[in-house]
Amino acid sequence: MIKADKPQPFSANCPSREILELIGGKWSLLILCLLKAGPQRTGSIMRSVQGISQKMLTQTLRDLERSGIVTRKSYSEVPPRVEYSLTPLGETLSVLVLPFEQWVVDNYEQVIVAQARFDALHTEDSKNQDA
């Protein structure tokens, strides 16, 4: 019989992995933040989230919709109008982002300094003048 490793909260099948991928996407959190302000049309989101392509926008929104985070409301009009908004579940998730946003505001500079310092230490130029 196989002696399994002790099960741990970081196992490959841990649910957090999937959620992590869901909100860990490059754009998910950004869109989530944006939708906190209220329903938005596709084009509006695209203009707001600079640098996102239409493909990624649709893909990310679909993913969020699939997971019950956002709702897609399509109006049968011409020209077509589609509005995305947070579901109640999405709202509970979006509020968690607030402290994180604040953390970025509070500590961004510190991170930049740390990065610059690290880069300097690991640059060849600096190893001749350590005194």
Binding site for a second copy (CB under 8 A): 5, 8-12, 15-16, 18-22, 24-26, 29-30, 33-34, 47-51, 65-69, 89, 92-93, 96, 99-101, 103-104, 107-108, 110-115, 118-119
The sheet carrying 81-86 orders its strands as: 40-41, 81-86, 70-75
Give me the least distance between CB of 50 and DNA, in Å please. 10
Cβ distance to a second copy smaller for residue 49 or 83: 49
Taking CB within 5 to 8 Å according to partner kind, which of DNA, a second copy, none is near residue 74?
Answer: DNA
Cβ distance to a second copy smaller for residue 49 or 78: 49
Phi, psi of 123 (to 5 degrees): -100, 140
- In three state form, how does the secondary structure of 55-96 look? HHHHHHHHHHHHCCCEEEEEECCCCCEEEEEECHHHHHHHHH
